[in-house]
Amino acid sequence: METYDALLASITPGSGETRTIFDPATGGVVGEAPVHTVADLETAVTAAVAAQPAWAALGHDARSAALFKAADAVERSAEELAQLLSREQGKPLNGPNARFEVGACAAWLRAAAGTPLDPEVIVDDGETYAELHYRPIGVVGAIGPWNWPMMITIWQIAPALWMGNAAVVKPSEYTPLGVLALVKVINEELPEGLLSVVSGGREVGARLAEHPAVGKLMFTGSTTTGKAIIRSSADTVKRLTLELGGNDAGIVLPDADPKTIAEGLFWGAFINTGQTCAALKRLYVHDDIYDAVCEELTTVANNMPMGNGLDENNVLGPLQNKAQYDIVANLVDAAKASGARVLLGGNPDPGQPGYFYPTTLIADIDNNNPLVAEEQFGPALPIIRYSTIDQAIEYANALDVGLGASVWSPNLTAAREVAARIEAGTVWINKHGAVDPRVPFGGAKQSGYGLEFGVEGLKHLGVPQVING
């Protein structure tokens, strides 16, 4: 375990071009990140190609043991990693935020390492015998986002490594330091060259997507960038797992208890200050309990402190960057101009340092309003009335994205019937965004394709091979 300063110093380049990373809560300098080039990427890919065969040859048990040790290493440096994450990304240490994210990194490493993937007998009828195996792909490229930079990197690389692949990571330009530090810690337990980080710009990501030596690319980010990656990867027929933008709907059925569900609704929408692909971003509430849900949700939201993430009292932080702040502010301003009712927030303090946008709840808003129809990715939730279940489902399914959704009701049978009619990769009941390393996760429609987590996630990081005879 290193001190925070030692960990930061270990990833700060001694020479070459750097990018200054600023704290989105204060504007202060967090550190200097290397600006890697396409030539650096080529070096990393070459090293990965060289290291991968020996890693694959170790077998599942030895690879699992190494990943369990990597999880231990993450836990030894957990507080230092969380401090860096809070400074760089902005999320508070407490609540479902920085310490939670670092803990999830260790948990997902262990989950991947402990999930068996045995050969499957497809046919055995006395005449034909066929088995399905999954072989390593080779080199996996991983392009991550700025909202959960450490955790999503682990989601990408842990199963890739367990399946016998090498990995090259390209972090977001907004949050490279945390990923560099995380991989540095993990590499204490891995062979040299197997896992590397290339902290560069768009040209590095574009080259990774088209690189002929990269057999699989995993990407979490916007739908627009995902489409560009699809085009870039076409010439090499690269395998892809794409977790793209979402605008998740939640439907509250008329028999739900507003007070009981209010805190779950809040965290479904405002986890990581709303900066989560699978956060609740549109809330549909039946007329019968609409006012009560608005009242209870406002009460909960009022009691959730927002501020500098290093303050142990806070559970909400700033937007990570100015561009995202402007998106949220513009969408809320448009909603206010349309006559929608502001229950809470919507009034940022221009004199406050950092990219803080107050927790905002907007009621009596039209379903076609931009705050509803466009992904806000921040701490502003529109609450829309509906009169019939058919109307709510029509509203929920109207957009061209479908990452997650939720249904809220004490009647699980009724909730599951509604869930089955929603066009989304995951529909939660009485919760939202609760991912589990054992449960496959992926999007529908333009929210992407491919699965992560569990046995199915491992399969997506291997090449299927049938042995017949």
Which positions are catalytic?
A: 243, 277
Token pair 């550190």 is found at: 31
> Cβ neighbours of residue 413 under 8 Å, at least 6 residues apart?
none
Nearest by Cα to 141 from 258, 233, 39, 24: 233
| φ, ψ for residue 409, nearest 5 deg | -170, 145
| DSSP string over 144-185 | --SSSHHHHHHHHHHHHHHTT-EEEEE--SSSHHHHHHHHHH
**In angstroms, what CA-CA distances link 245 with 140, 269, 444?**
22, 15, 10
Distance separating alpha carbons of residues 405 and 426, to the nearest angstrom:
6
Distance separating alpha carbons of residues 217 and 215, to the nearest angstrom:
7
Distance separating alpha carbons of residues 100 and 453, to the nearest angstrom:
18
Strands 444-445 vs 18-22: parallel, antiparallel or unpaired:
unpaired
Rg for the chain, CA atoms, rounded: 23
Query: Which residue type is seen at 78?
Result: A
Q: Tokens for 285? A: 């509430």
Distance separating alpha carbons of residues 32 and 6, to the nearest angstrom:
14
Token pair 């309003």 is found at: 369
440 in Cβ contact with 453 (< 8 Å): yes
Widest Cα–Cα separation across the chain: 78
